[in-house]
Structure 1
Amino acid sequence: MSLFKLGLIINPIAGIGGSVALKGSDGEGIADKAKLLGAQAKANDRAKLALEILLPYQENIEIYTANALMGEDIARTLGFKVKVVYQAPSLDTTSQDTEDTVTALLAEDIDLLLFAGGDGTARNVCHMVGDTFPVLGVPAGCKIHSGVYAVTPKAAGRVVEMMVTNQLVTLTEADVMDIDESLFRQGIVKAKRFGEMKVPCELRYIQAVKSGGKESDELVLQDIAADVINQMDEQLFIIGSGSTTAYLMAELALENTLLGVDLVQQQRLLANDVTEPQLWQYLQDNSATNVKLVITLIGGQGHIFGRGNQQLSPRVIKAIGKENIIIIATKTKLSALQSRPLIADTGDSDVDNLLAGFMTVTTGYHDQVLYPVASPQ
C-alpha cells in the first residue's frame, strides 16, 4: 500500500458560537464573545472522530497540516506521521490562515484536502482551490449548508479510508453554500451559492449506463469519449495506445494507431504513429499548458506508462505535467485490478515518483474516480 498524503486543516473556532446561541462563529468579535459566554471549541474533537477511523492505516498515511490547533496537535496526539507546512502567527487563527494553509498544502502534492469547519471554512477553501482539487469537509460548524461535507465526522473518515485502501471513489461536484450570519441572528435565513468543489464520495454507477447493475461497456465508452471530446478545443491532444483510446478516436472518425501515439487538435488528426523525437518536437512548438495527454491502462497489471507506450518518455511526460494527463478507463476495468494501484514505470524514478499518488480517472461523461498510482517496486 503506497503512502497516502492527507492534507488537514482545522478551523479551531468553527461552530463555537452555536452552544451559546450566537448562531455561528463568523463576524468580528463573535468568537471572543462566545468564549466569554463559556463556549468551548469543538472542531478538533470533530476532526478527531474522522481521524480515528484511519488509525489502522497509520503506517500508510502522512498528514500535512498547520501548527497547533489547526491540525498538528490532534494528528500528533493520535500518533500519525505529521509534516507542518504552515505556521499560524497567532493562536487566534483567521480565515487568512486557512487560505494560506491551503496554498502551502497544495504545494506538497497532497492526495486529498480534509478540512474541519463550517460553511465559512468551506468558502475559504473554495476561494483557493475552486473545483480543481479534491476536498472533503468534516462537519464542525453551526451552518452546514454546503454539499462538500460528509454527513458526520466518522462518515468523512470512512470516505478517506476507501481512498487509503485503494477502493474506487467517485469524484462529484458539490455546491459551496453559506448564509448571512448577521441576518441569521435576526431570524432571516438567506443562503447564497459561492462556488463548487470536487468531493470524493462512495462508488456510484451512473443510471444511464447501467444494465442489470453492471456497466454496459459500449455505453460507458461512448460516455468516456464524449467527455474527452467535449474538452477538445485549441489544445494539442496526444492520444496514447490502447483499445479505450482507440474507441475515442473512432468516435472522432479519425484514423487510429492502436499500439502507437497519435496527435489531434480541434478534433482533427495532425499525425499518426509519432515517434518520441517527433513528439518532443511537437511539445517544443506548443506551450506545456496547451497540451493534454490521453492514456488508458496498458496490460493486465494496470500500467499507465512503460508498457506499449515508450514513445511517452520521461522527458515527454515531465514536459506535459501530471495535471495535463487524462486517464480514461471503465470502472469495470479498474475493478478488475482488485484494488491494486496503477503503475507508472517510465524508467526514470523521479518521474515515477512525480506521478505517484492519487490521479483522476475519467470513467464516464462528467464521471470521474480517484485512483492510486504507484511507482514500480
Structure 2
Amino acid sequence: MDSLGVVVNPIAGMGGRVGLKGTDGKLEEARRRGAEPRAPERAREALRSLHRRAPGVTVYTAAGVMGERAVRDAGYEPIVVYEPTADDADLADATVSVDADTDPSDTSRPVDPATAETTAADTRAAVRAFLERDVDLVLFVGGDGTAVDVADVLEESEGDETPMLGVPAGVKIYSSVFAVTPADAGRIAAEFDRAADREVNDIDEDAYREGEVRSQLEAIVPVPVAPDVQSSKQVSSGSVDSLAAGFAREVDRERTYVFGPGSTVGAIERELEIDPSPLGVDVWRDGEVLARDAAESDILDVLEAPATIVVSPIGGQGFVFGRGNHQISPAVIERADEIEVVASGEKLDGIDALHVDTDDEAIDEELRGWLRVRTGRFTTRLVKVV
C-alpha cells in the first residue's frame, strides 16, 4: 500500500458509557451526562500500529480532530485535503481540497474533540477528496453510521474499487467492515494484499434504545481480507431457558450483579423476577434493582463488593466487552471480583473465539485466555478470549 485516506468521526461512541446506546441525535445529551470522546485515542492507536509497520505510507486526511491530529501524533506528516465547513447548507457541495494559502501544519484552529461540530456530510466530503487522490485504502474511525457515510461515497464512484476498513469506535457495530481492535486495523492496513466484498449494516438507534433491533443492509463494499476483520452481528434464537433457570438457582443474594444487555442475560433477569431494561445494563442485589438502564456512573454509584458482571457474547462476533455494553467500563470491571459469561451452545457454535475491546489494554490482557462459558443449567464450555 502506497497511500491511504484517514477520516475520524470525533463524536463516535460518546453515548456508550453514559447509557445512550449510541450518539446519533444525542450528542448534547451525551455531553450533559459527562461523556468523553473515545474515537481520537482509538484513531491514534490504529495509526501508531500502522506507523510501526509502514512508516513511509502517504496519508491524506481531514483537518483537526477529523484525522490530522491523530495522524501527526502517530508520527506521519499528513496531507490535509479537506477542512470541515461551518455552513451545513454548503456541505453537500463542499470543496474537497485545502486552499493553497492554507498552512496544513497550523493547528491553532479549535480542535477540542469534546466540542467539535462535524457532520456526516464532512465525512463524505473527506472521502471524496481521498478518492480524487487515488488512495489505496480508506481508513475510518467510528461506528456503523460512519461506515454508511463512507460506503455511500464509494458507491457513488462507479467502477471505483477502493477498499474501506473501520477502526471500531461506535457503540453499536453490526457491519463486517471493522477490524477487531484499533491495533488490528493498523496492522491490516499495512499488510493486506487483497480485498473482498463485505456488508455494511446499520440500525435505527431510537428503536434500539427501546429494545428493538432493526438492522438493515446498507451497502456491499470491498474490505481488506484478514482474519481480524469482525463478522456481521447475528442474533441467536436458541432457547436459554435452562441456562437462565440454572443460573438463577445459584444466585448469591449477598452479591451485587451487573447484568449486561442481550436476550440471554435478559432471560436470567426475568427468572429473578426483574423486568430487564431493553438492551441496557441493570444492577441488582438481594431482590432489589439498584439501577436500571444504567450509565457507567450509575453502576459505580451502587456497586458494592462482592460483585459479579454477567454478560453474553455478541452472536457472530464474539465480543464480551466493547460492543454495545460500554457502560460496563474498565472502572466497573476492576470493581467486580467475578465475571460470568453466558451463551447458548448454538450461539457459541458460530463463534471461533471471544474478544474484548475495553479501551484499557491492561484490562484486555487480563481478560484474555481460556474462559469457561455457561451454556445450560449444568453445562459449560471452554472458549478462548483473544
The TM-score, its normalising length taken from structure 1, stands at: 0.50
Higher helix share: 1
Structure with higher Rg: it is: 1
Higher strand fraction: Structure 1 or Structure 2? 1
TM-score scaled to structure 2, two decimals?
Answer: 0.49
